[in-house]
């Protein structure tokens, strides 16, 4: 509901004045509120104001990627996610987001590289294992898909809806033997 987003935006704007020690966290939340409310130009402007800082640059690039993805500019989103991962090689969420956007574009081989990079940095990041599994499945690489999908279930079996989907994929891939 737009009224809820407007209230969130107002609250975060007020929090900037009330909680200066929490400034970076509040700013990231404000960008998220702008993005969710569809106020992409405001979100981009806020991110742009903070990209020049050395500290936290990777996170601001990641936020820019989220804004561009929500705004529908997949090319700019991938560029921002890749830049975030290059800025901070431990930013596994940026790697996985780049993989997701590349997957949506049908660029499966490139997506695999980004999902794999995310799993190298954070072996328990189930979102990357899920992306890696579905991408290998699309490429027809049955054994790699099975391995990644089993890893997904190992690291996050409580996501019932997605676990059921993955279970169906695994059964389908195992029947194809």
What SS3 state is found at 105?
coil
pLDDT digits (tens, 9 = 90+) for 139-167: 999 999 999 999 998 887 666 777 788 88
Q: How far apart are CA 51 and CA 99, in angstroms?
A: 23
Phi and psi at 176, nearest 5°, equal -75, -5
**What's the pLDDT score for residue 159?**
62
What SS3 state is found at 125?
coil
**What's the pLDDT score for residue 55?**
66
Q: How far apart are CA 165 and CA 153, in angstroms?
A: 11
Contact 111, 75 (CB under 8 A): no
**What's the pLDDT score for residue 150?**
93
pLDDT, mean of each 10-residue run, the chain (177 residues): 75 84 85 92 91 79 96 97 95 97 97 97 95 97 95 79 83 85
- The owner of tokens 């990041």 is 125
Q: How far apart are CA 16 and CA 66, in angstroms?
A: 22
**What's the pLDDT score for residue 69?**
97
What's the predicted TM-score (pTM) here?
0.85
- The owner of tokens 């995310």 is 118
Contact 129, 151 (CB under 8 A): yes
Residue-averaged pLDDT of the chain: 90
Please report which helix (H) or strand (E) contains residue 122, including its range: none
């Amino acid at each position: 509901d737009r009224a809820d987003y407007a209230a969130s935006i107002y609250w975060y704007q007020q929090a900037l004045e009330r909680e200066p020690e929490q400034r970076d966290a509040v700013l990231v939340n404000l960008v998220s509120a702008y993005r969710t409310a569809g106020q992409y130009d405001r979100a981009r402007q806020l991110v742009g104001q903070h990209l020049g800082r050395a500290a936290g640059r990777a996170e601001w690039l990641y936020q820019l990627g989220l804004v561009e993805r929500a705004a529908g500019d997949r090319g700019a989103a991938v560029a921002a996610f890749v830049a975030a991962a290059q800025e901070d090689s431990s930013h596994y969420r940026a790697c996985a987001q780049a993989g997701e956007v590349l997957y949506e574009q049908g660029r499966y081989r490139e997506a695999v590289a980004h999902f794999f990079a995310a799993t190298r940095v954070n072996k328990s990041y189930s979102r990357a294992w899920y992306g890696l599994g579905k991408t290998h499945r699309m490429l027809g690489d049955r054994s790699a898909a099975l391995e990644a999908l089993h890893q997904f279930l190992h690291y996050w079996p409580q996501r019932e809806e997605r676990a059921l989907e993955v279970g169906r994929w695994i059964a389908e891939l195992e029947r194809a033997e």
